[in-house]
Amino acid sequence: MAGTPVRVALLGCGTVGTEVVRLLTGQAADLAARVGAPVELVGVAVRRADRHRDVPAGLLTTDALGLVSRDDVDVVVEVVGGIEPTRQWLLAALRAGKSVVTANKALLAEAQGELFAAADASGADLYFEAAVAGAIPLLRPLRESLAGDRITRVMGIVNGTTNFILSAMEETGAGYQEALSEAARLGYAEADPTADVDGYDAAAKAAILASLAFHTRVTMGDVHREGISAVTPADVLAARALDRTIKLLAICERVVGEDGTESVSARVHPAMIPRSHPLAGVGGAFNAVFVEAEAAGQLMFYGQGAGGAPTASAVLGDLVAVARNRVAGGRGPRESAYADLAARPIAQASTRYHISLDVADRAGVLAAVAAVFAQHDVSIAAVRQEGRTQDASLVVVTHRAPDAALRSTVDKIAGLPFVNAVVSVMRVEGEDQ
């Protein structure tokens, strides 16, 4: 294959990195034909050089910064993760005009502006398909295929660990801690599961998705985040009674205010969705993302959201793209943040609540509860009351209302004398009302 080789430095050689090396070498002839030039691995930065027998020893180094600064490196592929020192390595690479392919969602959700500015200054490419939803081609469609459309909403299941835990709670009736232990035992949850179960991972992905969808820089701090640790078996039962299921959702919405001003609502929280919703059937390690755009309508993307090989597939796709750009002398899309929309606080987000109460079974209870909703200007979509000897179960599902109003309503109701307990409070998504 003619053409000057495109020389690649790999940072990190864990599960994903090992798979990247395997694909790069195993498919060398195909990659060269697709790029128009050979793609050569010239160095691999690792923490401990004696632990990587699959990689030729001559390629290994523990000096990542030294590697990205070498003159014989054209493209840097980063699968280390974390914010520091990775940020410094990628900035050094981009400043030196080397294109970067990264799977690092946490870093992008924090420092995308800085990284894109460095890429822009030197004319380098910055690609990161693997950072969200693993192998699913999702960022390229948002950045490119839908670049002539107006995206209104992105909603998806983007974290496999929490999806596994919620599915287990639903299938076995287990509590959160029990389901988490089972997930850890099966390798679906890390020893420290905080990033997954508290929604940090999903929030970083929501920031990246919102940035691309709405041409606005959205960072972690702009994303409202609730994890799944507060989800109870009572919530699961309450959902089931209404033919719904609970999923941890990343939701990014374009909100048009009454004065026409647009803003972006980005949030991660558990929510009930109808069992008939396509996202309801997404189980285990799979991810799926719904996108709604004005001209395109509803789109769904589905596939494996994690794992060495799927993530490596996304990395290699980006690597082929930046290598092609090098060969053709062009560039991929830059950061598109011109719209510069404000982030809408969760209090102003328009959501729906499902509220399950344990109340005394006597006259006037429903009237009193309904009055609290009315006082807060929250419209009720459905009510279900079931008597049980002395007490009763009262379930209320609201229409869309500002989140702050819903919270205040619930607080007030919790304090009513005849309300024994607020059994479950959960947002409802996937139904337009």
Contact residues toward a copy of itself (CB under 8 A) are 19, 23, 27, 30-31, 33-34, 129, 135-137, 140-141, 144-150, 215, 278, 293-304, 307, 309-310, 312-321, 324-325, 328-331, 333, 336, 338-339
- 175 known member of a binding site: no
**33 versus 347: smaller Cβ distance to a copy of itself:** 33
Residue type, 209: L
Output the smallest distance, CB 18 to a copy of itself, in A: 12
Output the smallest distance, CB 148 to a copy of itself, in A: 2
Tally of CA atoms within 13 A in the half-sphere of 252 that contains its CB: 35
d(C-alpha 69, C-alpha 74), whole Å? 10
3-state secondary structure of 368: helix
d(C-alpha 97, C-alpha 403), whole Å? 45
Are the C-beta atoms of 128 and 112 separated by less than 8 Å?
Answer: no
d(C-alpha 17, C-alpha 221), whole Å? 29
98 is catalytic: no
Output the smallest distance, CB 370 to a copy of itself, in A: 38
- 46 known member of a binding site: no
- 18 known member of a binding site: yes
- 11 known member of a binding site: yes
**325 versus 409: smaller Cβ distance to a copy of itself:** 325
**16 versus 413: smaller Cβ distance to a copy of itself:** 16
- 341 known member of a binding site: no
Output the smallest distance, CB 306 to a copy of itself, in A: 11
Structure tokens that stand for 395 in this block? 């379930």
Handedness of CA 215, 217, 222, 225 (dihedral sign): positive
Q: Which of 98, 205, 247, 412 is catalytic?
A: 205
Structure tokens that stand for 126 in this block? 């910055």
**300 versus 370: smaller Cβ distance to a copy of itself:** 300
Output the smallest distance, CB 308 to a copy of itself, in A: 9
- 364 known member of a binding site: no
**235 versus 335: smaller Cβ distance to a copy of itself:** 335
**315 versus 357: smaller Cβ distance to a copy of itself:** 315
Output the smallest distance, CB 290 to a copy of itself, in A: 9
DSSP of 93-141:
HHHTT-EEEE--HHHHHHHHHHHHHHHHHHT--EE-GGGSSTTS--HHI
Residue 20: which of 68, 80, 64 has the closest Cα? 80
**324 versus 399: smaller Cβ distance to a copy of itself:** 324
Pairing type for strands 151-157 and 286-293 reads antiparallel
Pairing type for strands 39-45 and 6-11 reads parallel
3-state secondary structure of 335: coil
Q: Which helix (H) or strand (E) holds 76?
A: strand 75-78
Output the smallest distance, CB 309 to a copy of itself, in A: 4
- 98 known member of a binding site: no
Are the C-beta atoms of 210 and 182 separated by less than 8 Å?
Answer: no
- 412 known member of a binding site: no
Pairing type for strands 99-102 and 75-78 reads parallel
If you ran DSSP here, which 8-state letter would residue 185 be given? H
d(C-alpha 111, C-alpha 86), whole Å? 11
- 105 known member of a binding site: yes
For 305-418, list the strands marked E by DSSP: 342-343, 350-360, 380-388, 391-398, 401-402
Binding-site residues for NADP(+), in ranges, read 11-18
Binding-site residues for NADPH, in ranges, read 105
Binding-site residues, in ranges, read 11-18, 105, 190
Question: Which residues are catalytic, by number?
Answer: 205
